[in-house]
A and B are shown apart, each in its own frame.
Chain A
Amino acid sequence: MSEAVDFKIVEEPKRPLAMHPKKFGLWLFMASVFILFMAFTSAYIVRRAEGNWQIFELPALFTYSTIVILLSSVTMQWTYFAVKRNQRANAKNMIVLTSVAGVIFLALQWMGWGSLIESSIHLVGNPSGSFLYIITGLHAAHIISAIVFLLVVLANALRNRFNLNQIEMCTTYWHFLGVLWLYLFVFLTLLR
């Protein structure tokens, strides 16, 4: 009898696959940002196809800003590795460096706008110019949000709090905006 009691029926329901919810949410957010820019670039294509479209050179400064933002991705990734290896001082430096690179990027974009205005491409005027300002401006707004995120990470780091998930999310977002800019840059260069 007592042996029979030891027989058990078991059912093993599987634990569903799951990611860190916040990281996952970030991916969804990036998807919607991506769609936003897809909307602008599609609108650009549709409008361009209709003719009456002013053609002009992208400012050379945008090439430099592209280099800066790509380099900042390196320092950002460096931050992540440093935190992972627990090299805290190193990590702090890299966060600062990345933020500074972000600010330089913004400054270069701003100066790029200046040189556009010098060659009399204004926000108001032919839609080809207006699109350029809107697209680059909106991208810059996202870079600002990423810098704010970096500053939050930095504030935590200065209090010696390193949250690897948070830093990973910040890194992902930063890379995303870098790649997004690369796409926009190539797009705007090829489809003038």
Chain B
Amino acid sequence: MAIHVESHSAVHAHDDHGHEHEHHHGNFWTTYIFSEDHKVIAKQFLITGMIWALIGGVLSVLFRLQLGFPEANLSWLKPVLGGWLTPEGKIDPEFYLALVTMHGTIMVFFVLTAGLSGTFSNFLIPLQVGARDMASGFMNMLSYWFFFLSSCVMFVSLFISTGPAAGGWVIYPPLSALPQAIPGSGLGMTLWLVSMALFIVSSLLGSINYITTVINLRTVGMSFTKLPLTIWAFFLTAIIGILSFPVLFAAALLLIFDRSFGTSFYLSDIYIGGEALPNQGGSPILFQHLFWFLGHPEVYIVLLPALGITSEIIATNSRKPIFGYKAMVGSMLFIAILSFVVWAHHMFVTGMNPFLGSIFTLLTLIIAVPSAVKIFNYVTTLWKGNIRFTPAMLFSIGLVSFFLTGGITGIFLGNSAVDIQLHDTYFVVAHFHLVMGSASFFGMMAGVYHWFPKMFGRMMDEKLGYLHFWLTFVGVYLVFFPMHYIGIAGFPRRYYTWTAFETFSGFADLNMLVSIAAIVTLSAQFIFLFNFIYNIFRGKLAPTNPWNSTTLEWTTPRLPGHGNWPGEIPTVYRWPYDYSKPGAKEDFIPQHIPYSETPESNLPHENDQIKLQFGDKPL
């Protein structure tokens, strides 16, 4: 370890005499591949996350084809799917389950956890707290490469002959524990577990780094009350990650032992083909407890960074201070704490004691309070603001909309009695795709549009951004809103087909509509992809502070080099939301401007912070 520290400081010493060429001491490999620079690592996470998002999206369209057009002949997909199509040209039922499982796993973990936190925590934490890099660049690099390895394993599992894991993203045993149960529980499940173990390592390395950086590497003046809400969100997300991912690791480890070494943690009294398995004394419910103890905090790991990003973007583009900064921090903190005591709302129908059920109902419904505070604060920030509708702003407002519509259905689900009808139906699918999937995805998109100029030094095209937004926004509602009705009618999720049930035939049209909307929405993402890739190379050069924003990242050069600021790191004097301050010359005052330079807009208590000094002596 000491050796590493020394080599690091050698690099810095080198840096000092060759500042104009930031990268001249690294070759291609150390600069772009095994880079320890947080900005490069952020881009690696972003690009990998985008590739995963595309794969996950394509998988979902495949199973939507089956749901919307159960009679269609898909033989034209033969070149891609090969043996996963039946001779009649339909998707193999086993493969359908694999598609749903992989879609969920990819989207929740690889896109919205690694892709979102990995990109923006890495990119923004050092830039916004005023640090030259992460606390440990080496660990940060490891974090990416563990993620990469984990990605490779998961990717390979898509192509093995027995197919990838197929027990749902929640991998409940005994289905996932017994290779005899479904083909996907063979090698596919083993690879899934290996991949997730690597993923957990990556996530822990990342989280440890984020927390350490936020606490220890802030620039002078950057007290906790002056942190941008983005940083608060990333910080709390990382804490949740450290406290919950080890539990998933424990759950997975016990599952691995059940699968490969014959233990019976989750297995008991199972008969296959009339033969009893030797496993006795296990409890599948135990797995659910362990899984959801991670699983519920995980949904906030996915959502909080998106909420942080939107807070920042909404304040900037409303040209108003965020409404209720302390309430925003407080509600995130409250959500983070509560997220650890509500896990059993996913298990209301596992035969749990009804009294326990009502306790978890109560705790679950309390989450609605801080969530409502956040929505209220977003709306009040927008209220009478001088709103600029940039694409990033539209996506942020979209997030608020999804968070609201999806959160409301959570209140229905949180009631243990109502959940008996709704559990495991499309109502749940609608709920979490709006509140988690779409909201976080919109947060991520908002972040990309907003910080693209800082990442790549160029601007994205606004018109294409608008087009992308409207198609996606309308598309998402068309996809997920009808699912509420389908779910209330009792459609279970993860079913291959309903054509055999007369009751459900009335919903065939609705399902078709949903599928068509899904295809359109996925296609719309290619507009974004074009906009993104083309403008990395050809975009208009970005000004250093294109959105007239107050936070520190916009005080760096157009393309910040290694170490972020060519000179000294700026000092912070004020909170990040001095927008449209009465009396100020401009409608924003960056964090590094001292109060002594803005006498025209200072409030009395701010004036108190300026001391008059005569020579070196205070007056």
| A166 pairs with B212, CB closer than 8 A | no
Q: Given A127-B281, A134-B253, are A24 and B265 neighbors across the interface (CB < 8 Å)?
A: no
Closest to B243 in A: A35
Q: A35-B243, A43-B289 are in contact. Are A14 and B223 (CB under 8 A)?
A: yes
Query: Digit string of A178-190 for contact with B (CB within 8 Å is 1, else 0)?
Result: 0000000000000
Contacts of A152 in B (CB 8 A): 1
Closest Cβ of chain B to A41, distance in Å, is 10
Whether A18 and B264, one on each chain, are in contact in the complex, defined by CB atoms closer than 8 angstroms, is no
Q: Which of A9, A11, A123 is most buried by chain B, counting CB atoms within 10 A of its CB?
A: A11
Interface flags for A114-137 (1: CB within 8 Å of B; 0: not) read 000000000111110011001000
**Which A residues lie within 8 Å of B223 (CB)?**
14, 16
* Of A25-33, A62-70, A87-95, the one with at least 4 CB within 8 A of chain B: A25-33
Alpha-carbon distance A95/B275, docked complex (angstroms): 56
Shortest Cβ distance from residue B340 to the other chain A in the assembled complex, whole angstroms: 11
Which residues 209-246 of B sit at the A interface, judged by CB distance below 8 A?
A: 209, 211-213, 215-223, 242-246
* A92 to B286 CA separation, bound complex (whole angstroms): 47
Pull 17 A–B residue pairs with CB atoms less than 8 Å apart, ordered by A. A7-B612, A7-B614, A8-B615, A10-B611, A16-B221, A24-B216, A33-B246, A35-B246, A36-B247, A36-B250, A43-B286, A47-B283, A123-B262, A123-B263, A125-B263, A130-B257, A152-B1
Top 5 nearest A-B pairs (CB, nearest first) are A13-B221, A39-B250, A21-B135, A36-B246, A9-B596
In angstroms, how far is the closest chain B Cβ from the Cβ of A185? 19
> In the complex, are the beta carbons of B573 and A11 less than 8 A apart?
yes
Give the distance in Å from the alpha carbon of A28 to the alpha carbon of B2 in the complex. 20
Contact A166 B204 (CB under 8 A): no
| Interface check A40, CB cutoff 8 A | yes
Report the minimal beta-carbon distance from B223 to chain A, rounded to whole angstroms: 6
A81 and B499 alpha carbons, distance in the complex (Å): 75
CB distance from A43 to the nearest CB of B (A): 6
Known: A11-B573, A14-B223. A31 touches B243 (CB 8 A): yes
Partner of A16, one of B218, B246, B262, B282: B218
Say yes or no: A50 contacts B283, CB within 8 Å.
yes
Pick the residue among B213, B257, B264, B290 that contacts A21 (CB under 8 A).
B213
Is A39 touching B246 in the complex (CB atoms < 8 A)?
yes
B242 engages A32 (CB within 8 Å): yes
Give the complex CA separation of A133 and B261 in angstroms: 12
Bitwise, A68-98 to B at CB < 8 A (1) or not (0) is 0000000000000000000000000000000
Report whether B215 and A43 are in contact in the complex, using a CB–CB cutoff of 8 Å. no
Chain B: minimal CB distance from A30 (Å)? 10
Chain A residues contacting B221 (CB-CB under 8 Å) are 13-16
Q: Which chain A residues border B218 with CB–CB below 8 Å?
A: 16, 18
Q: Which residues of B contact A16 (CB under 8 A)?
A: 218-223
* Candidates A13, A125, A131; contact of B572 at CB < 8 Å: A13
Give Cα A98 to B249, complex, Å. 30
Chain A residues, Cβ within 8 Å of B594: 11
The reply to whether B212 and A24 contact each other, CB–CB distance below 8 Å, is yes
Q: Contact check, A11 vs B596: say whether CB atoms are below 8 A apart.
A: yes
Q: Which residues of B contact A (CB under 8 A)?
A: 1-2, 135-136, 139, 204, 207-209, 211-213, 215-223, 242-247, 249-251, 253-254, 257, 261-265, 280-283, 286, 289-290, 293, 571-573, 594-596, 609-615, 618
A160 at the interface (CB under 8 A from B): no
In the bound complex, do residue A28 and residue B208 qualify as a contact, i.e. CB atoms below 8 Å apart?
A: yes
Binary contact readout A21-60 vs B (1 if CB under 8 angstroms, 0 otherwise): 1101100110111011001100100110010110000000
- Among B215, B218, B281, B571, which residue has the most Cβ atoms of chain A within 10 A? B281
Is the pair A9, B264 in contact by a Cβ cutoff of 8 Å? no
Q: From known contacts A25-B209, A43-B250, infer whether A7 and B613 are also in contact, taking CB-CB under 8 Å.
A: yes
State in angstroms the CA–CA spacing of A47 and B251 once bound together: 13
Known A8-B613, A36-B247, A47-B283: A163·B2 in contact at CB below 8 Å: yes
B497 CB to closest chain A CB, in angstroms?
37
CB distance from B169 to the nearest CB of A (A): 20
Are B293 and A9 interface neighbours, CB within 8 A? no
Closest to A15 in B: B220
Q: A31–B247 Cα gap in the complex (Å)?
A: 12
CA distance A127 to B215 in the complex (A): 42
Contacts of B289 in A (CB 8 A): 43, 46
What residues on B are CB-neighbors of A47 within 8 Å?
265, 283, 286
With A25-B212, A32-B208, A36-B246 already in contact, 19 other A-B pairs whose C-beta atoms are closer than 8 Å? A8-B613, A8-B615, A13-B220, A13-B573, A15-B221, A22-B136, A24-B212, A28-B207, A28-B208, A36-B250, A39-B247, A39-B249, A39-B290, A124-B261, A127-B282, A130-B257, A130-B265, A138-B253, A166-B1
